[in-house]
Amino acid sequence: MSSPKVMLSCRNVSIRYQVGDFKNIGLKEWVMRRLTGRYKVVDFWADRDVSFEICEGDMLGIIGTNGAGKSTLLKAVAGIMEPTRGRVARCGKISALLELGSGFDGDLTVKENAYLRGAMLGYTRAFMDKTYPYIIDFSELKDFEDRPFKQLSSGMKSRLAFAIASLVKPEILILDEVLAVGDGAFRAKSEAKMREIIKGGATTILVTHSIGQVRAMCNKVLWLDKGRQVEFTDDVNGCCNRYEAFLAGRPK
Alpha-carbon distance of 124 to 157, in angstroms, equals: 23
Percentage of the chain surpassing pLDDT 70? Answer: 84
Query: Mean pLDDT throughout 105-123?
Result: 88
Q: What does the pLDDT read at residue 182?
A: 59
Name the least confident of 183-187, 217-221, 225-229. 183-187
Alpha-carbon distance of 193 to 238, in angstroms, equals: 26
CB 87 within 8 A of CB 77: no
Question: Residue 210 pLDDT more than 80?
Answer: yes
Per-residue pLDDT tens over the stretch 25-41: 666 666 766 677 666 66
Torsion of CA 140, 144, 148, 152, to 10 degrees: -50
Question: Residue 86 pLDDT more than 60?
Answer: yes
Question: Residue 146 pLDDT more than 90?
Answer: yes
- pTM of the predicted model, to two decimals? 0.75
Per-residue pLDDT tens over the stretch 163-191: 887 776 778 888 887 665 556 777 788 77
Alpha carbon of 249 to those of 65, 96, 243, 246: distances in Å? 13, 33, 10, 5
Query: Mean pLDDT throughout 204-215?
Result: 90
Taking all residues of the chain, what is their mean pLDDT, rounded to a whole number? Answer: 85
Domains and CATH numbers, the chain: 6-249 (3.40.50.300)
CB 49 within 8 A of CB 125: no
Question: Residue 90 pLDDT more than 80?
Answer: yes
Q: What does the pLDDT read at residue 141?
A: 94
What single letter denotes the amino acid at residue 119? A
Torsion of CA 77, 80, 81, 86, to 10 degrees: 20
Alpha-carbon distance of 224 to 229, in angstroms, equals: 5
Dihedral class, residue 116 (left if φ above 0, else alpha if ψ from -120 to 50, else beta): alpha
Question: Residue 23 pLDDT more than 60?
Answer: no
3-class secondary structure, 143: helix
Question: Residue 99 pLDDT more than 70?
Answer: no
C-alpha count within 13 angstroms, C-beta hemisphere, residue 13: 28
Torsion of CA 207, 8, 138, 132, to 10 degrees: 140
What single letter denotes the amino acid at residue 77? V
Higher pLDDT, 203 or 167: 203
